[in-house]
Amino acid sequence: MTQLPSTEEAFENGVQQPMVTLAEALTPNGAGKVSTFGGIILSATLFGHNFRHLHKTGPNERPEDLDNGDFWKRHRKMDNVLSATFMFFPDHLRLPAGLRDSNIPLIHMNIHASTICLHQAAILTAEKHQLPIEFRRQCRNRSYGAAEEIVSIMRMISHFDVRFVSLSDIPTDWH
């Protein structure tokens, strides 16, 4: 299996650094070992998983069966991965500490956007199959919560000058 990229510092200094595979990064243990660029790849992968989830067909999908349908089993698994990713991220990928690296807010916004996509699709599917209103309400709440997190991140970074590719390049006398 291909490993995710190492830290930029290790790459620039030619230092070999053991990293996790993408499959490992999707687990609680692996998420804690992801580099910044690995986090970008991980967040993009989550969008791909959403896409595959929504377009999968087969006799066991049973979107009308909230408890036993494969559609809903995958939905729950993906929701758990999205939640666990934030919980187990290493300190260097956490906010607000990581605001100085422009990739870190992007990673967080991508994962929250993936959460919104997952739950909006769940709402539409639940409505189509007349599943319990309480379940649809839970999905809406997850979507709203993720949207509020994106707004919060945007507020945190709105004062940064976008002319700087890396926020660590901001001059010390810049206000």
pLDDT tens, position by position, 12-45: 778 887 889 999 999 988 999 999 999 999 999 9
Taking the domains of the chain in order of start, what are their residue ranges? Answer: 8-161
Higher local confidence (pLDDT), 169 or 13: 13
pLDDT tens, position by position, 83-115: 999 999 999 999 999 988 889 999 999 999 999
3-state helix, strand, coil in the chain (%, to 5): 65, 0, 35
Rounded Cα gap, residues 51 and 49, in angstroms: 5
DSSP bridge pairs for 3: 21
- Half-sphere exposure at residue 109, Cβ-oriented, CA atoms within 13 angstroms: 15
Distances (CA, A) of 103 to 31, 52, 122: 16, 25, 29
